[in-house]
Amino acid sequence: MSYGDYRDKKHLWEMAAKAEVEKVGWVKRMINSTRSLQDMKRREKLLKFLTIKIHQNVKEDHPFLPAPPKSLVTPGSYDLARVVTGRGAEYPARIRKVDATEHGIIVGPSGAGKTYSLTWLGQQIHRKALRADGKRNIAVWFFDTEGQITAYMAGTKSCEDVLLIDVPRDFRFNRYKAPPGVDEKEHITKLTSQERECKYYRDYTMNMVRNACFELLNRQGIFNERQVLDHIAVKKFKPGSRDSMSQESILNRLRESLEYMGSVYDTHRSHDLAALAKRSVVWMLQGLSTDHINTFIGDLILWIKEYMPVCYVPTLKLIFIMDEFTHICDIGRCKRADIQEPYMLDAARVYRKRGVSLMLGTQSIYTVPNVVLSNLSGFWIAHRPSEGYSMRILSDHLALNSEQVEYVAEMLKRYVVCRTKECPRAFLGKIPEIDLPAATDMEMATRVEHTQRVLDSLLEPEPQSDQLSLFDQKPTDEQAETLFGYYHLTKTCLDYLEFLAKEAHLFLPVTELDKLDSISNYKADKLRQQLIDTGPGLIKIHRITGGKMGRPSSTVEITDAGYHLLAKLGIKCEPPTGHGDTEHKFWQYTICRWPIAQGFPAKIEQWRNGKAVDVGVEWDERKVAVEIALGKLDKELENFVSDLEAGWDKIIFAVLTDEKLKKLKNKIIEKFGRKSLEEEKVAFMRLKTFLETKDGHI
C-alpha cells in the first residue's frame, strides 16, 4: 500500500486499530499531535513515518503468498507491475531485455487497462533504447485500430521521434517485391501460401495465383497487385470448369482488395521497410476493415521474418505491440480456412531467433490457439476476466489452484496476476497509476507533418528494371553474363530462341524441331511458352491443317521483336523468305522440300520473265511452277495465265480440300477447255500430299 492510501488520518486511525501494534495508544497520540504541527513538512514526514509503521504490522492475506523474493523479479529493464507482498513495502516486477524476445501477453476485459499497460511498456522500451550517439538500438512498432495509442504516443514528449503512419493514406507497399537478399521466387511462394489464410484461398486457387506471379516475374521482373489481377483476368478457361471457377474466385478477392487497399498495394514504389524497421512507428489501422488489417499485418510479419537474419544469441531489435491482436490478426480465420498453423504461430515460433518480440493484448484469450499461447513465455499479465472461458485458460497456463482462481474472480481493478521468465510461479501484482496525456489537435498535426516528411524521404525511386528494352542499347558483357540477355531469360531459353531462328526457315512442325534439337516435347513446350509470355512476345505458335483428312501441324514464327532481340545480342539471322501469312509460308517451304528430297532443284518465289511463282522447279530444261491455292479461285485463274506467259511449262495447283480442287479444275476446264489438261499444262494436288516424301514425314 502506498503513502497516498494512508494520508487520511481517519484511515490511519482505523488501520492502527486493526494492526496489533504494541503501543496503540502511542500511535493514537502521535496522530492527534499532528493537528498542532504548523510546519507542513514535519507533518508530512511524521504521517509518512506512521504509514510505514502501521503498514509493517498489517497483514494482507491472499492465496499468492509468499510473494517472490525481490532479487528474483526486480532485476530487469522494463517495469510490468508492483508486487503485492502482503506485508511490507511493494517493489517493482520487471522483465529483462533478454527475456523480452520470449514474447508476452496482457489479458483482461474491456476497460481493464490493457492499452495503458502496453503503451506504457512500449514507451519504456523506446526511451531506454536511446544510445549515446543519439540513435536507438531497439525499434517499437505499435499497431493501433482505435486511435487511442496514437493519441498517447503523440502526446508524450519523450516519444517525439515516433512516426505516426496512416496506412491507407500515407503508406505504399509492393507486397510482391522481396526484401533485400531474399530470392524473389521464394518470397512469392511464401506470400501466396499465406494468402490461403488471408483470403481463404484453397490449394488449387493458390497455385493459380502463384503460377501467375511466376509468369509475371519471368516476363518483367517487377509487378504489383493490379498486374496480377490483369494477368489472371485475360486467361481463357472453359466456362464451368475448375479453372474458370478458381479464376472467378481470385478476381473477386483481388478486385475487392484493390478497391479498398489500392492506394497501398497498387504501386511499383514502396517505402523503405528496412529503414522503418530501425525506427519506432505507430501503424494507424483505423481506416481498414478486419480482412484488410489481417492481410496487411500478415504481409509485414512475413517481410520482417524474411528480412531479419537468424541470430544464435538473440538480441532484441524490434518489438510488435498489438492491442486486441485477435482482432488485428483474426485468429478465428484459421479455423474457417482450415489452417492448422496460422501465421501468428509461425511468428511466435521464429521471431525470437531474429530478435523480434511480440507483446500482445487481448480480451478474448479463449479464441487464441493453445499452440500460440504456449510460445508466449516472456511474461503474462492477467486482469480479472469477465467470463469463465478465459478463467479456465488462465488457470491452465498460469497453473492456478482453486483458491487462487476464486481470488482472481474477485480481484479489484489494477490488481493483476503476473508471471515472468525468471519467476514462473504466478504472483499478485498491482498496476501503478500511469499518466499518459493525450495529444492535442495541434500536437497531432505537427507529428503527422513530421511523419510525412520522413516517409517522403524513404519512398523508393521509380524502379529501374535490370532488363533492357528491345529498343534500348546493346547489353554490356557484364549484363549478358549475369542476366543471360533480356527480360530475365535464362541462357537455355536464349539458346533455344537462337536455334529457332536458324531452323525456322524450314518451317518444320514443332515435334520435328524438338527431335532436331534433341529436347523433350515437355521441356520445349515450357521454353516456347516462356518466349511467348516474354515482353511483347518473341515467338508465335501457328496451327496448320492439311484439310479434312490431313494431320494438323504446329509451327513456330519468330516475331519482329524476337529478331530485334537476336540482332542486339549479336546473333545474325534473317527472317524466312516468302510472301503471305504464316500458313502460306509454311506450305511454300513444305512444298519446296518435297522435290528437293527427291533430287530436284527447287526455289521459293522463283522469278521468270518478271513473274514470281510460289515454288519453282527447273531441271533438264523442264520448268514446273507450283501455286498454293488458299485464296479466291478467280485469282488462281489469273495466275495460270500469267505463269504460262512467263514461260513455265506446267503449273501445279496445290489446294487444301478435295472440294476446292474440283471447283478449281472445273473452272479451268470451263475457261480453257480440256486441252490444257490433255497437254499436261496444269495439274492439281492436295496440300497434304506434300507432307510426305520418299523419306517419310518431315
Query: Looking at the DSSP assignment, which residues form a beta bridge with residue 144?
Result: 284
| Mean pLDDT across 405-418 | 90
Beta strand pairing call for 163-166 and 415-420: unpaired
Neighbours of 354 (CB within 10 A): 21
Q: Which one has a higher pLDDT value, 515 or 129?
A: 129
| Mean pLDDT across 283-294 | 84
Return the exposure string of 154-166: e unless at least 16 CB atoms fall within 10 Å of the residue's CB, then b: bbbeebeebbbbb
- Give the pTM: 0.62
Q: What tens digit of pLDDT does each residue of 550-578 get?
A: 566 788 888 888 888 888 777 777 777 77
Burial bucket for residue 39 (CB in 10 Å: 0-12, 13-18, 19+): exposed
Distance CA 394, CA 388 (A): 10
Distance CA 280, CA 282 (A): 7
Report domain 477-568's class: mainly alpha
Confidence (pLDDT) at 484: 39
Contact 431, 416 (CB under 8 A): yes
| CA 89 to centroid of chain Cα atoms | 52
Q: Note the maximum CA span of the chain.
A: 150
Amino acid at 105: I
CA angle centred on 48, ends 47 and 50, rounded to 5°: 65
Distance CA 424, CA 434 (A): 26
Distance CA 174, CA 223 (A): 8
**In the predicted model, what is the mean pLDDT of the chain?**
80
Q: What tens digit of pLDDT does each residue of 73-120 get?
A: 988 889 999 998 877 778 999 999 989 999 999 999 988 889 999 999
| Mean pLDDT across 403-432 | 91
Amino acid at 163: L
Confidence (pLDDT) at 683: 86
Confidence (pLDDT) at 633: 78
Burial bucket for residue 134 (CB in 10 Å: 0-12, 13-18, 19+): exposed
- % pLDDT > 90, the chain: 21
Q: Which one has a higher pLDDT value, 194 or 19?
A: 194
Confidence (pLDDT) at 196: 64
Q: What tens digit of pLDDT does each residue of 232-285 get?
A: 888 888 888 888 888 888 888 888 888 888 788 888 788 999 999 999 999 999
Contact 244, 237 (CB under 8 A): yes
Distance CA 308, CA 316 (A): 11
pLDDT band at 500; cut points 50, 70, 90:
confident
582-697 under CATH 3.40.50.300, yes or no: no
| Mean pLDDT across 522-542 | 81
Place of cell 486511525: 13
- % pLDDT > 70, the chain: 81
**What crossing angle do the helices spanning 184-198 and 290-307 adopt, rounded to 10°?**
150
Q: What are the extents of the domains in the chain? A: 3-58, 175-268, 477-568, 582-697
Confidence (pLDDT) at 506: 62
Confidence (pLDDT) at 263: 81
pLDDT beyond 90 at 426: yes
Distance CA 120, CA 625 (A): 94
| Mean pLDDT across 286-293 | 81
Distance CA 362, CA 169 (A): 27
Confidence (pLDDT) at 107: 94
Contact 487, 493 (CB under 8 A): no
pLDDT beyond 80 at 546: no
- Whether residue 109 has a cis bond before it, omega within 30° of 0: no
Confidence (pLDDT) at 312: 79
pLDDT beyond 60 at 336: no
Distance CA 686, CA 590 (A): 13
3-state secondary structure of 489: coil
Q: Which one has a higher pLDDT value, 52 or 590?
A: 590
The helix (run of H) or strand (run of E) holding residue 140 is strand 139-144
Distance CA 524, CA 528 (A): 6
The torsion angles phi and psi of 545, rounded to 5 degrees, stand at -110, 150
All three cell numbers of 254:
483481388
Q: Which one has a higher pLDDT value, 428 or 56?
A: 428
Which own/partner contact pairs does 29-38 have at CB distance under 8 Å and 24+ positions apart?
34/9
Confidence (pLDDT) at 104: 94
Confidence (pLDDT) at 339: 44
| Mean pLDDT across 21-35 | 56
Contacts of 108 (CB under 8 A, 6+ apart): 114, 361, 363, 382, 383, 384, 385, 416
Place of cell 485500430: 145
Confidence (pLDDT) at 482: 38
Q: What tens digit of pLDDT does each residue of 175-214 get?
A: 899 999 899 999 998 888 777 655 556 677 888 888 889 9
3-state secondary structure of 669: helix
All three cell numbers of 374:
504456449
Confidence (pLDDT) at 496: 84
Output the DSSP codes for 250-290. Answer: HHHHHHHHHHHHHHHHS-S--B-HHHHTTS-EEEE-TTS-H
Contacts of 307 (CB under 8 A, 6+ apart): 179, 180, 181, 182, 273, 274, 277
Confidence (pLDDT) at 128: 92
